Amino acid sequence: MDFDFSPEEQAFADEVEQWLVDNHDPVVMDPTRENFTQLADTPERRAFMKKLAAQGWLGMSWPKEYGGQEIEGVYEYILNEALAKHAAPQIGKGVGIIGKTLIRHGSDYLKKEFLPKILNADIEFAVGYSEPQAGSDAANMQLKAEKKGDGWVLNGQKIWTTSAHFADWYWVGARTDPDAPKHSGISLFLVPMNDPGLEIVSLPTIGKDTTNQVFFNDVYVPDTQMVGEQGKGFQYISEALDLERFTMFTLSPSTERARVLIEWAKEAKRDGKPIKDDPNVRRLIARIVTDQAVAKGLSVRFVCAARKGGKPPTIESSQYKLFATQLSQRVCQDALDIQGAAGQIREGQDEGPIRGRFEGAYRATVVETIGGGSSEVQKNIIARRYLGFPKNF
């Protein structure tokens, strides 16, 4: 048993930490974006991603023949947690699901075209799985792909494509065989985001970022831009989630938020008395740090399970995600309760405690228990795989 990183891993963690301190950029590393700085559509963020690439930190776990270092996935976990802790953009879907899926299933053409650009941070992706009728029921996607000559014509709609308004390429699932069972009629495509048939409609959210609906109007995609085999799209999508064992939902942002709350509570006063002497505040803070320690334990558990290889750590990651995202929201909720009336002051104004940090975070964290597999989906997974219960929906 060992709860510490190995000396090599610790050295890497220290190196990343120091690098992030040395390269601190307040525009890119904005903690008030609450774990979503990778969604900032700014030249500064693009420049920062190029710097990460120059460090050799993109695609570390990729095979050497594709420009990776074949390094253990735990290093990407360390890197992403450090990035998230500093509110820097995380390494994301390019080197993750897209790169890894192309390496396993992509044609030589797609590999040559995309992999080097991913490693150099020359390219930004948007991922299009969700649709109005395919949320938690992801395999229910209806975006229609009809065969035409040496390609496909796509018609329909995607939703919740957060990066659509600035990405270069769209990684998108579409139904190529309407008569096949729902999981096996789907194929994956790469579509240039500037295709004139794509219409992007912004959906402002209660969080910091806008998301998008994307409408497909006769978007023609050549066969060469289909990923892998026809009809295997959903299989690839599921497999990619298993390949992304180390870079799921990061814990550092909520740990940092708890730290910020505690620092504030140590100094703040109400009616002339220190807030930290209020028994109710002490109780809430004790609970928050305890639950943070438990969440950390659950993350160690999934990382250790992932390192063992073999079976994907599905149960471990579901239990971690369920616990950590609920906790992340509770920290914000407790923070506002502790701050009382002033907690409502909209973020960004000096009159609010911590400039309204938790007013904003309370809104921004709502999506955490929804995206990336909702809490209810995680519970269904745990019920079936951990408890051995029958399918219940």
Partner 1 sequence: MDLEFTEEQQMIKDMARSILDEHSSVDAVRELEDDPRGFSDALWKQLGESGLLGLTLPAEYGGGGQSLLEAALVYEEMGRTLASVPHFVSAVIGGGILAEAGSDAQKAEWLPKIASGESIFTIAWLEPERGYGPVGVQLEARSDGDAFVLSGTKQHVYFGGAADQLLVLARTDAGVDVFLVDAKADGVSMRQILSQAGDAQYRVTFESVKVGAGDRVGAAGTGWDSLSKVMHDGIVLLASQAIGGAQQALDITGEYMKVRTQFDKPLAAFQSLAHYMADASTNIEGGRMIVLEAAWTRAQGRSIERLAPMAKLFCCDTYTEVTRTCEQLWGGVGFTLEYDVQLYFRRAKQLELSWWDTPYLEELVAADVLD
Structure token digits, residue 5: 């990183």
Site for partner 1 (CB under 8 A): which residue of 236, 323, 358, 362? 323
Smallest separation, CB 319 to partner 1 (Å) = 4
What is the CA angle 393-242-363, rounded to 5? 70
Query: Do the beta carbons of residue 304 and residue 266 sit within 8 Å?
Result: no
293 binds partner 1 (CB under 8 A): yes
Q: Is 149 in the site for partner 1 (CB under 8 A)?
A: no
Q: Applying CB under 8 A, which part among 34-42, 120-128, 295-303, 333-341 lies near partner 1? A: 295-303
Q: Binding residue for partner 1 (CB under 8 A) from 298, 332, 338, 364? A: 298
Q: What is the C-alpha separation between 145 and 176, in angstroms, rounded? A: 5
In the region spanning residues 70 to 129, those forming contacts with partner 1, defined by CB under 8 A, are 74
Name the one range near partner 1 by CB under 8 A: 32-40, 316-324, 338-346, 351-359: 316-324
Residues 231-250 that bind partner 1 (CB under 8 A): none
Provide the β-strand partners of residue 190: 171
Q: With binding defined as CB under 8 A, does residue 3 bind partner 1?
A: yes
CB of 289 to partner 1, least distance (A): 5
3-state class of 190 per DSSP?
A: strand
Smallest gap from Cβ 326 to partner 1, in A, equals 9
Residues 34, 76, 81, 291: which binds partner 1 (CB under 8 A)? 291
Six token digits for residue 7: 């000396």
Q: Does 289 bind partner 1 (CB under 8 A)?
A: yes
Closest CA to 172 of 181, 163, 325: 163
13, 241, 262, 268: which one binds partner 1 (CB under 8 A): 262
3-state secondary structure at position 337 = helix
Instruction: Kindly write out the interface string for residues 374-393 of this chain, putting x where it contacts partner 1 by CB under 8 A and - elsewhere.
Output: --x-xxx-xx--xxxxxxxx
Is 267 a residue that touches partner 1 (CB under 8 A)?
Answer: no
Alpha-carbon distance of 26 to 23, in angstroms, equals 10
Q: State the sign of the Cα–Cα–Cα–Cα dihedral 2, 4, 7, 8.
A: positive
Candidate segments 43-51, 218-226, 291-299, 341-349, binder of partner 1 by CB under 8 A: 291-299
With contacts defined by CB under 8 A, name the span among 56-64, 116-124, 143-151, 293-301 that binds partner 1.
Answer: 293-301
239/194 Cα distance (integer angstroms): 28
Rounded to whole angstroms, the Cα distance separating 359 from 377 reads 28
| Piece in contact with partner 1 (CB under 8 A), picked from 46-54, 110-118, 300-308, 347-355 | 300-308
Among the candidate windows 38-46, 206-214, 239-247, 285-293, which touches partner 1 by CB under 8 A? 285-293
Q: What is the CA radius of gyration of the chain?
A: 22
Specify whether the CB–CB gap between 236 and 306 falls below 8 A.
no
Is 354 an interacting residue with respect to partner 1 (CB under 8 A)? no
Number of chain residues interacting with partner 1 (CB under 8 A):
48
Smallest separation (angstroms) from partner 1 to the CB of 323: 5
Report helix, strand or coil for 293: helix
Q: How far is CA 39 from CA 36, 97, 166, 209, in A?
A: 6, 17, 9, 7
* Minimum gap (Å) between residue 30 Cβ and partner 1: 26
Structure tokens at 285: 């803070």
**CA-CA distance, 305 to 302, in Å (whole number)?**
5
Ranges within 358-377 binding partner 1 (CB under 8 A): 376
Beta bridge partners of 251: none
**Residue 152: φ, ψ to 5°:** -135, 150
| Binding-site ranges for partner 1 (CB under 8 A) | 1-6, 9, 74, 262, 265-266, 276, 282-283, 285-287, 289-291, 293-295, 297-298, 300-301, 303-304, 307, 316, 319, 322-323, 376, 378-380, 382-383, 386-393
